[in-house]
Structure 1
Amino acid sequence: MILSTASPLLVGGAPLAVALLAVAGYMLATVPAQGLARWAATGLVLGWCLHFVLLVMDIGGWGQSQPGARLGFAPVLSITVWLVLAVHTVESRFLPLPAVRRWLALAGTLAVLIALTFPGEPRQHASPLAPLHFVLGVASYGLFGAAVLHGVLLDAAERRLRLRSGTPGSAFGMPLLQLERLTFRFVEAGFAVLTATLVLGAVTAAQWRWDHKIVFSLLGWAVFAALLLGRRLRGWRGRRATRWLYAGAVLLLLAYAGTRFVFEVLLGRPPA
């Protein structure tokens, strides 16, 4: 395993302390005991808040050996998980899902630890609009991540209903049709933000080139476009729709985080 020379695991300091506290909060949220449910919910919020502080410190280069914005695969994954957790934190106020909370807390723990190990290298922006392009791209990651989370819940709910009676009803305390609509609201929002990201990227790019990032991004965009058209024109629902959702999410993940993982971890050098 190749460690970045700027990794907080090596330099220590405030980012490492915040990261350990965030991990402690997330781990508290995984406690299954019924009597500690309130503490578990508090732990998730605490871990989420400290995770945000760590993102600001790590991506901004505060407390690191090299200042500058770090936009490697691990920070992007970390931001994505944080955004999905933000959606869950809001929804849990209306619909508590302890099992989902535990899985998301584990995801938050892994995201923090991976970002600690592979914080990425600082990069200079060729255009003043490049940071906006990055923010929109990560926002689309978060929206599609939330859609995937709800898609998994939708699939699990449909399986449970088929095993019980095969009749419509509630799933995880939410009507099945409402859960489905919510899933595709996230897909539609993510698709709109992804479209804006691609357009802004084309406008701000100093030179257009067909690299892995562009190819996978366009393939992901095409899959989501087909999903929305299929749902509107052909009435796609259930597993057919969620399979397209998962395929588009994987392509989008490969577009940025996947290619940077190959360069930064497997090849040990930043992307060109």
Structure 2
Amino acid sequence: MILAIPSPLGVALGIATAAAYGVTAAAASRLSRSSTQWLLALAWLLHGLTLATGLAGGTPRFGFAPAISVTAWLVLTVYAIESSLYPQLKVRRALAVLGAVAVMLAVLLPGTPLHVSASPWLPLHLALGIASYGLFGAAVVHAWLMTRAEKQIRLAAEPQGGVPLLTMERLTFRFVTAGFVLLSATLLAGLLFSETLYGGAVRGWKWDHKTVFSVLAWLTFAILLTGRARFGWRGRTARRVLYAGSALLLLAYVGSRFVLEVVLSRAIS
């Protein structure tokens, strides 16, 4: 729900989506792979319909929970594409739980209205930022799968993922690279066009906590990609830097909005 509308239809769709994810997570160990895939696909489609409903008219809204919801949907979209290429991937239950939690958060906390004077381009700017969240989220999922596979190899057990570690590593850095490009575009747009995007409500580059954490995240990912290219960083070192950058990026918007919207109970636009 990039532009979440707290309507009865949106709430009903959100609850139905969370229920579909919940059924998928509960039945994942008892059903065949194809049956679980179909259930997850149904939940993913309902999730997409919920997001589309949020985009259809009304007062534009945004917040930390809608951001998480969109990120989760993007991660699931990546998985849907990858599972056709690498059917060995086994993260359906974890992704179903993630989807259920994300959707219910967005139902309960649909965000706050954007500035009435905001530019029509602002949703695109937000979409770029959330797309980078989704790509880095996919990278984190792959890094976690690599960690799990390495532990299983050390225990002389067959890796459950079934995808070679080198392949998983290449996929991880492809997502990091794509996410870095989108994050760079988002920051550049905010630097050059912030006054236009927010209709004069924000003048110039504003060094608030969101900006500081975003820039720190960008620097961390830049270091990661440079270390990979020049020094061959891989394995635990690369994953730690990836996790650090992702945590900073999460704090940049989701964390700050959570504190303001929930902890401090302040409505912000």
Normalising by structure 2, report the TM-score: 0.88
Structure 2 CA distance for aligned equivalents of residues 257 and 90 of structure 1: 26
Per-residue deviation, 1:213? 0.7
1:171 deviates by: 6.8
Deviation at 1:16, TM superposition (A): 2.2
Letter in 2 for 1:49: L
Cross-structure match for 2:134: 142
- Post-superposition offset of 1:164: 1.9
Structure 2 CA distance for aligned equivalents of residues 20 and 146 of structure 1: 24
- CA distance 1:127–1:19, change in 2 (3 Å): closer
CA distance in 1, matches of 2:29, 2:65: 32
Cα contact 1:76–1:257 (8 A) shared by 2: yes
The answer to whether structure 1 residue 112 and structure 2 residue 110 are counterparts is no
Task: Decide whether the 8 Å contact of 1:72 with 1:120 is kept in 2.
Answer: yes
Cα pair 1:84 1:146 within 8 Å, conserved: yes
Distance 1:71 1:35 in 2: 37
- Whether 2:15 is the aligned partner of 1:20: answer yes
Q: Deviations over 1:88-139 (max 9, x none)?
A: 1111223335741001000000001100010011213533432221111011
The alpha-carbon deviation at position 223 of structure 1 amounts to 0.3
Q: Is the 8 A contact 1:151 1:183 kept in 2?
A: yes
Rounded to whole Å, the distance in 2 between the matches of 1:128 and 1:229 is: 36
Structure 1 residue 61: Cα displacement: 6.5
Counterpart residue number, 1:258: 255
Matching of residue 50 in structure 1 with residue 50 in structure 2:
no
Q: Work out the number of aligned pairs and report it.
A: 256
Gaps of 5+ in 2: 196-202
Judge conservation of contact 2:135–2:176 (CA < 8 Å) in 1: yes
- The letter for the 2-side match of 1:56 is A
Whether the 8 Å CA contact 1:28–1:44 is kept in 2: the answer is no
Checking the alignment, whether the CA contact within 8 Å between 1:71 and 1:121 is kept in structure 2 is yes
For the Cα contact (< 8 Å) 2:61–2:113, is it kept in 1?
yes
Aligned-residue identity in percent: 48
Deviation of 1:36 after TM superposition, in Å, equals 4.6
Structure 1 residues 245 and 148: CA distance shift in structure 2, 3 A: same
Task: Say if 1:28 and 1:40, in contact at 8 Å, map to a contact too.
Answer: no
Letter in 1 for 2:134: G
Deviation of residue 170 (structure 1)? 7.1
Q: CA RMSD in A?
A: 2.1
Aligned to 1:219: 216
Answering whether residue 221 of structure 2 is matched by residue 230 of structure 1, we say: no
Q: Offset at 1:144?
A: 0.3
- Assess if the C-alpha contact under 8 Å between 1:27 and 1:105 holds in 2: yes
SS at match of 2:62: coil
**One-letter code of the match for 1:172?**
G
Residue 32 in 1 paired to residue 23 in 2?
Answer: no
| SS across alignment from 2:112 | coil
